[in-house]
Amino acid sequence: MKLACVLLAGVAALVLLGALVASDKKDEGLESSVSFVVLKDDSGKPIRNAAVILHPVDKKGKQTKAGFELKTDLDGKTHFDGIPYGVLRIQVIAPGFQTFGYDYTIGQASQEITIRLKRPQGQYSIYDKPDASGSAPAPQH
């Protein structure tokens, strides 16, 4: 009786393991159609000619050498068909804005990703000249 229970538990574990492996492999080969919208953070207006750079990320978290660059249109939009399911590192570069970067998980047949770019922030330097009172100017934000 104990041997039967042990065998049954072993078979159940193998079935569960097989299901997990099958579900992991199920995502392999699947591709997504991803749309991107790039907007100004302060006004919500579109940013045209922004570079949207795509890099797949492997299971170890490393960016792969394969990559692709898209440009946004007048409406701040761009699109790419055939992005494999998994982690995708997205970098957005546009003149006059801070560079954006983030890792997104792609796992649907169709996705839309909206990215809001911020203007550069003021920087503080210890080399700024003090004001008339002798104290350094306040940092700009």
118 CB contacts (<8 Å, ≥6 apart)?
41, 42, 97, 98
Contact 78, 70 (CB under 8 A): yes
Distance CA 64, CA 83 (A): 14
pTM as predicted: 0.66
Domain positions in the chain = 30-117
Q: Which fold has domain 30-117?
A: Immunoglobulin-like (2.60.40)
Q: Which two tokens stand for residue 140?
A: 């700009």
Amino acid 39: pLDDT = 98
Contact 34, 112 (CB under 8 A): yes
What dihedral angle (degrees, nearest 10) is formed by the CA atoms of 32, 37, 41, 43?
Answer: -150
DSSP 79: E
- Sequence letter at residue 113: I
Digitized pLDDT (tens) for each residue of the chain, 141 residues in all: 444 443 333 333 333 333 333 334 345 678 999 999 999 999 999 999 999 999 988 888 888 777 889 999 999 999 999 998 999 999 999 999 999 999 999 999 999 999 999 998 887 777 766 655 555 555 554
Q: Which two tokens stand for residue 8?
A: 């049954």
Which of these, 114, 141, 121, lies nearest to 47 by C-alpha position?
Answer: 114
Amino acid 20: pLDDT = 32
Contact 54, 83 (CB under 8 A): yes
